[in-house]
Amino acid sequence: MSADSIALTEGVYYILLALHQPLHGYGIMQQVEQMSKGRVVLAAGTLYGALNNLVARGWIVALPMATDSRRKSYQITTLGKQMVEAEIARLQELLDNGLHIIAQEKGGAEHEI
């Protein structure tokens, strides 16, 4: 899948953003909730499936576990960062087009009045 043809789900996008620093599952969930001001809450099974999927695609990597820890941590890879950048460009295009059309319509409506 090419970087410019993909639309990430909201959950995956936030997971990738959160993993710009190494985090374990619970940390990811908290970070995403915090970033989205409580709007995006990742369910445990959803998060687990997404993490496995992202590891399989090489977008994130599971870090070697410390001997005294049972928690697995993850971090974004270079490929994952490219995906985030492509997604930001896609979102920017959506935003620009949306704002442009709305502004045009508002301008037109003002002239009509």
* Interface pick for other proteins out of 35, 44, 91, 95 (rule CB under 8 A): 44
Greatest Cα pair distance, the chain, in angstroms, is: 71
Q: Is 49 in the site for other proteins (CB under 8 A)?
A: yes
By beta-carbon proximity to other proteins, the closer residue of 67 and 78 is 67
Structural Rg of the chain based on CA atoms: 18
Residues between 68 and 87 that touch other proteins (CB under 8 A): 70-72
By beta-carbon proximity to other proteins, the closer residue of 64 and 108 is 64
Return the range that interacts with other proteins (CB under 8 A); candidates 15-23, 44-52, 75-83, 88-96. 44-52
- CB count, 10 Å around CB of 79? 13
* Three state DSSP letters for 41-52: CCCHHHHHHHHH
